[in-house]
Structure 1
């Protein structure tokens, strides 16, 4: 009887041990599946960091070498010009400026015209012309003027920024390709969402960099010229300023009266100021004159 009980006990112990082993194997399989998805996300993050750091160092050195290797004639220069001119006829000058713009393949960005009064007109124009026609256009506009009040040109070298943007664009495009691969290998929804968010941020940065590159391309290709045109009346018979006879005569008359009044005022001040001396001298002189006249009459009578 005791032997039978012992056999039953051993049988149940064996069954329980087998059950525990199966549970442990199932848990290991589940854990392995979870670790596989986590490994994909971890590999995705680590690869991005390694790619960014490695390419950043390589691109930095490559950018410096590339900028130094660029010839002066091939550098990216943004040209700007500012011109203030006086013309005899505004409308005629405006038409000739527009003709020059059309001939040099440029275009007007902004323009405004103001009436200065007395029939005179002025205007401002913001014009873009191809970079190679920048100086010829300034010379043509200058030739239309009676007087050049101001001419200023500036140039900004954006070569280094342009090369850096191109390098950053290549790096982000490489990251985008890796993220697309990771998205295909993602096993869980959580990993897929995480990689999708990172991909969206990368693509947004690519669009921003590409937009800046396009902007610099346009600024370099077309130089900006700001023109201020002022109409100035010439020396003609219709120039009322130079023929204001009545006004000039009135001014001369007023000036003459002022001079005479200044002289009279000076004499009065001189006499009054020296009256303590002049009055006794005048009295003494008058007495001497009277005495002299009396003596003269007395001598004549004798």
Structure 2
């Protein structure tokens, strides 16, 4: 009886032990499952990136650390190249930028009348004169004008036709066209990026807490602003060149009216006096160029004069 009791007790203990192991195993699996699920919940690196606004090409302000030096600040404002490329692509709809330039040279019957006609046409087409030069060579009977003109690009061909109609003979005509669309887009893109970069550094400047940080940011801002001014100046120049075309006009007459009408008695006397004065000047300068010979001749004259004087005195004695 005692043996049966010990056997039964042993069986119960073994059964209880097995049950506890089974519970522990189940509990362990449950914990293991939870542990396995933990990385999926807490792994931030697998989370999708936050969305950005279309206009932003830099990281958001809220995620920026305090300014601590060149390396972190430069990394802080690093440009997103993919977004810059997108901005460039979006600028593909910029109107074509064309610079038109030209020059024309011709003969005309009356230079004064031609000049007045050109100026009248220029005012009508909203152009202006950059420079005005006049050359009058009466001795060869030629009078010439040169005008450097700026004319709105849309009116260039009309104005050129008006100028050509005043010519009796066109010596030369040259027109050049230059496409600066790519240069314009590149400059505009650099300017936009510099403006965004300037804004970014201004935000960093507001959050800077040390004098050294402020000075370093101001130094970077100075360089950025210099680039902005340079790019803006280039854009302004291109815009002006595109908006207004350039034309250089040379026109002349071989027989000006003022020379033809002045050929009379008084004119002939004036020309004769001018010719005589010119000959007199040539004679004077010709004699002046012989000064070494004149000195020798004068010295011989003095020597001979003294010799004759001494000879006369000797005979008288």
Shorter chain as normaliser: what TM range?
A: 0.5 to 0.7
Cα distance between partner residues in 2 of 1:38 and 1:60 = 28
2:104 corresponds, among 74, 79, 83, to: 83
Shift of 1:93: 0.7
Cα distance between partner residues in 1 of 2:179 and 2:189 = 18
* DSSP-derived class of the 2:209 partner: coil
Shift of 1:166: 1.0
Cα distance between partner residues in 2 of 1:93 and 1:83 = 14
1:44 corresponds, among 73, 82, 103, to: 73
1:205 maps to which residue? 227
* DSSP-derived class of the 1:80 partner: strand
Cα distance between partner residues in 1 of 2:183 and 2:142 = 45
Shift of 1:123: 1.4
5+ residue gaps, structure 2, are 1-64, 262-317
Contact 2:101 2:246 in 1 (8 A): yes
2:84 corresponds, among 50, 56, 59, to: 59
* DSSP-derived class of the 1:187 partner: coil
1:143 maps to which residue? 165
Change (3 A) 1:40 1:182: farther
* DSSP-derived class of the 1:102 partner: helix
1:269 maps to which residue? none
1:96 maps to which residue? 117
* DSSP-derived class of the 2:167 partner: coil
Cα distance between partner residues in 2 of 1:217 and 1:111 = 24
Cα distance between partner residues in 1 of 2:70 and 2:255 = 77
1:110 corresponds, among 111, 125, 131, to: 131
* DSSP-derived class of the 1:169 partner: helix
Cα distance between partner residues in 2 of 1:108 and 1:46 = 52
Contact 1:40 1:182 in 2 (8 A): no
Shift of 1:228: 0.7
Cα distance between partner residues in 2 of 1:139 and 1:232 = 23
Shift of 1:233: 2.7
Contact 2:67 2:204 in 1 (8 A): no
2:238 corresponds, among 216, 219, 237, to: 216
Alignment of 1:1-302 (within 5 A): 39=68, 42-48=71-77, 50-51=78-79, 54-55=80-81, 58-60=83-85, 62-63=87-88, 66-67=91-92, 69=93, 74-118=95-139, 119-233=141-255
* DSSP-derived class of the 1:75 partner: coil
Contact 1:40 1:185 in 2 (8 A): no
Cα distance between partner residues in 2 of 1:128 and 1:121 = 23
* DSSP-derived class of the 2:121 partner: helix
| Runs of 4 or more consecutive aligned structure 1 residues displaced over 4 Å after TM superposition | none
Provide, for residues 197-252 of structure 1, a one-character-per-residue CA deviation record: whole Å limited to 9, x for no partner.
10111111111100110110000000000111111339xxx59xxxxxxxxxxxxx
Cα distance between partner residues in 2 of 1:129 and 1:136 = 10
